[in-house]
Amino acid sequence: MTDILKLAFVGCGAISAHHLDAINESAPRIKITAAIDPSRDRANAIATQTGAQVFESLEQGLDHGDFDAVDIMLPHDLHEQFTLEALRAGKHILLEKPIAPTLESAERILAAAQQVSTVFMVGENTQYWPEVVKAQQLIKEGAIGDIITARACFIDTLDDCWYTGDKPWRNDKQRSGGGIVIDGGAHWIRPLRMWLGEIDQVIAVLDYPDKDMQGESLARALLRFESGIVAGFDAIALKSPFGPQHWWRVTASQGELAINGGFEGGLMLFNKENPQGRIVQSPTGYFKSFGPQIADFEAAVLDGKALEAGPEQALGELRTALAIYRSAKSNQWEKVWQ
């Protein structure tokens, strides 16, 4: 094992700033040695902060760069191409979710990853968000009794850096694989799976209120888990303000857990002793979830630690999204793991 993990950023767009912050805060043994992006300006912005070499393509970086691992932060339709290229080159890989826009592409990626000994991780940062982790702990401890139902509510105001430029790739259904369900919605589905187990089937409706987005900008679904529990999943993206919401609620026989909406977070416990609610996890901020995610990747590569969630876990969010899309067409319950 080496003491330092040399990492290349593959894609230096908006999300790379959060990964860089996470490395600086939580992964002291990672050194960014390459910034790879067809936009020289974006790559230079990372290089200025890290001292990394700049390359316009992964091929160029593999030929002339010095790195052991890649952090792939690219549009969904490029995930397979770049992941397979990095696997063939013997690199450790952190791939931003979703694993791919189609099940066939995801399965090809996983099959290729199983043939190598390097670390392959699909980043789902809510797996590590302190509020989500604390909720999982309290549920396991029986703090609210037996779960009855839950709700996840994803809201996007479409006014941030993810949708900048003349033609944001997220608005292109061919590039993203769909709309908000397959993209940001994955962050809301993973915690439900952590708390309630695997999803068995879904029924859903979609709508398209944002006319710039080819994929859905509104989804309402019921998710039936293998346990029989039914949870609600709402997702909406609009260029307008929203009132306060809880991003997640878990309702049980002895109380509720609620994670406050907005990127500031915070976990509340409601029970007989705390009918007005009590803060059991102070707000950490959604973006603080990237730090422990990057630290997990660092430890897996440098220390041989098992990942908190293997890459196959990402199939759950992808399959759920695809089942939601099928249900919206069939107007009936659709199996997730068919």
298-332 pLDDT, tens digit each: 999 999 999 999 999 999 999 999 999 999 999 99
pLDDT over 70 at 105, yes or no: yes
pLDDT of the residue at 83: 98
pLDDT of the residue at 338: 82
Cβ neighbours of residue 273 closer than 8 Å, sequence gap 6 or more = none
pLDDT over 70 at 24, yes or no: yes
User: Over pLDDT 70: what percentage of the chain?
Assistant: 97
CA-to-CA distance for 37 and 75, rounded, in angstroms? Answer: 12
Q: What number is the average pLDDT over the span 85-112? A: 98
pLDDT of the residue at 321: 98
- pLDDT tens string 250-265: 999 999 999 998 778 8
Give the relative orientation of helices 14-26 and 290-303 as an angle to the nearest 10 degrees: 60
* Sign of the Cα pseudo-torsion (75, 160, 285, 233, in order): negative
Q: What separation in angstroms does the CA of 203 have from each of 96, 129, 307, 324, 336? A: 27, 28, 32, 6, 10
Q: In sequence order, what are the beta bridge partners of 223? A: 202, 231
Q: What is the CATH number of domain 5-123?
A: 3.40.50.720
CA-to-CA distance for 117 and 152, rounded, in angstroms? Answer: 36
Task: Note whether 5-123 and 127-289+318-335 share their fold.
Answer: no
pLDDT of the residue at 157: 83
Q: What is the mean pLDDT of the chain?
A: 95
Query: Would you state the structure tokens that stand for residue 108, as one six-digit string?
Result: 């090809």
pLDDT of the residue at 239: 87
* Tokens 């003349």 -> residue: 166
Strands 267-271 and 30-36: unpaired
Q: What are the extents of the domains in the chain? A: 5-123, 127-289+318-335
Cβ neighbours of residue 107 closer than 8 Å, sequence gap 6 or more = none
Dmax over CA atoms of the chain, in Å, equals: 63
Split at pLDDT 50, 70, 90, the class of 136 is very high
Query: DSSP for 96-154?
Result: ESSS-SSHHHHHHHHHHHTTSSS-EEEE-GGGS-HHHHHHHHHHHHTTT-SEEEEEEEE
Q: Is 64 exposed, middle or buried, given 0-12, 13-18 or 19+ CB atoms closer than 10 A?
A: exposed
Q: What number is the average pLDDT over the span 197-204? A: 98
Query: Would you state the structure tokens that stand for residue 249, as one six-digit string?
Result: 């609620």
Q: Is 336 exposed, middle or buried, given 0-12, 13-18 or 19+ CB atoms closer than 10 A?
A: buried
How are strands ordered across the β-sheet holding 218-225?
A: 278-281, 267-271, 255-260, 246-252, 147-156, 230-237, 218-225, 199-207, 334-335
Q: Look at residue 298 and give its three-state secondary structure.
A: helix
Split at pLDDT 50, 70, 90, the class of 286 is confident
pLDDT of the residue at 243: 87
Q: Look at residue 20 and give its three-state secondary structure.
A: helix
Least confident piece of the model among 56-60, 115-119, 211-215, 299-303: 211-215
CA-to-CA distance for 51 and 43, rounded, in angstroms? Answer: 11
CATH C-level class of 127-289+318-335: alpha beta
Cβ neighbours of residue 276 closer than 8 Å, sequence gap 6 or more = 270
pLDDT of the residue at 158: 74
285 torsion bin: left (phi>0), alpha (psi -120 to 50), beta (else): left
Cβ neighbours of residue 306 closer than 8 Å, sequence gap 6 or more = 300
- pLDDT tens string 148-160: 999 999 998 876 6
pLDDT over 70 at 161, yes or no: no
